């Protein structure tokens, strides 16, 4: 009986199905798979993978079984549907912020690449000009000798 009480928060969503409690864990699962894919492509270290996975599993789990928060101190509890909405609103806002951050980083990276290409390209050009000048000087030397 005690056991049933302890795990009842895990099965409660099945009895009271809601779209949020189904879609959010699915979204979290997708994000975890994305993190795994990045790790396999050597674009993430295992620490980053762990952090990302724990974060999204946590979000998915809370969405699946909001009653789990009742076990935490009352200040963290999500007790009404409106609060759940606010909670996920914040999650999406943070996600949006992260996406924007990544976009800005991407733009910054492109500017750096362009600047670098110009810096290195200019040097190649200087080298070529130096070589041409040297060849011209040699040619003139040959003419006068």
Partner 1 sequence: MKRCILVPVYNEGKVFEKWFPALLKVAQETGSGVIVVDDGSDEKVYFDLKEFPEYDEKVFFLRHEVNCGVGAALETGLQFARKRGAEMVLTIDGDGQHSPEDLKLLMRVLEKGEVDVVNGSRFKKNQVIPLARRLANFFANILNFLLSGFWVTDSQSGMKGFSKRALDDLSLQTPGYEWCTDVFREAAWNKWRVEEVPISVTYNLYTLSKGQSFAVGLDMVARLVVRSLMK
Give the interface with partner 1 as residue ranges (CB under 8 A): 38, 42-45, 47-48, 51-52, 55, 98-99, 101-102, 105, 108-109, 111-112, 115-116, 118-120, 122-123
Kindly tell me which of 79 and 122 has the beta carbon lying closer to partner 1. Answer: 122
Q: How far is the CB of 111 from partner 1 (least distance, A)?
A: 7
Closest CA to 62 of 17, 20, 7, 32: 20
Nearest CB to partner 1, comparing residues 3 and 46: 46
Q: Give, for 2, the enclosing helix (H) or strand (E).
A: helix 2-15
Alpha helices in 16-80 (DSSP H): 19-40, 46-64
- Smallest gap from residue 112 Cβ to partner 1 (A): 5
Q: Which is nearer to partner 1, 70 or 126 (CB)?
A: 126
In 3D space, the residue among 34, 28, 92, 78 whose CA is nearest the CA of residue 57 turns out to be 28
């Amino acid at each position: 009986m005690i056991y049933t009480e302890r795990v009842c928060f895990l099965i409660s969503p099945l009895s009271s199905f809601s779209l949020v409690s189904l879609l959010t864990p699915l979204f979290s699962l997708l994000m975890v798979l994305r993190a795994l894919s990045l790790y396999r492509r050597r674009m993430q270290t295992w620490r980053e993978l762990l952090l990302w996975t724990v974060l999204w599993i946590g979000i998915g789990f809370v969405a699946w079984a909001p009653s789990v928060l009742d076990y935490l101190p009352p200040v963290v509890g999500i007790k009404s549907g409106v609060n759940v909405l606010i909670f996920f609103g914040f999650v999406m806002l943070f996600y949006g912020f992260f996406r924007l951050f990544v976009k800005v980083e991407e733009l910054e990276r492109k500017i750096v690449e362009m600047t670098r290409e110009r810096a290195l390209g200019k040097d190649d050009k200087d080298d070529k000009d130096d070589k041409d000048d040297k060849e011209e000087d040699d040619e003139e030397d040959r003419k006068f000798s």
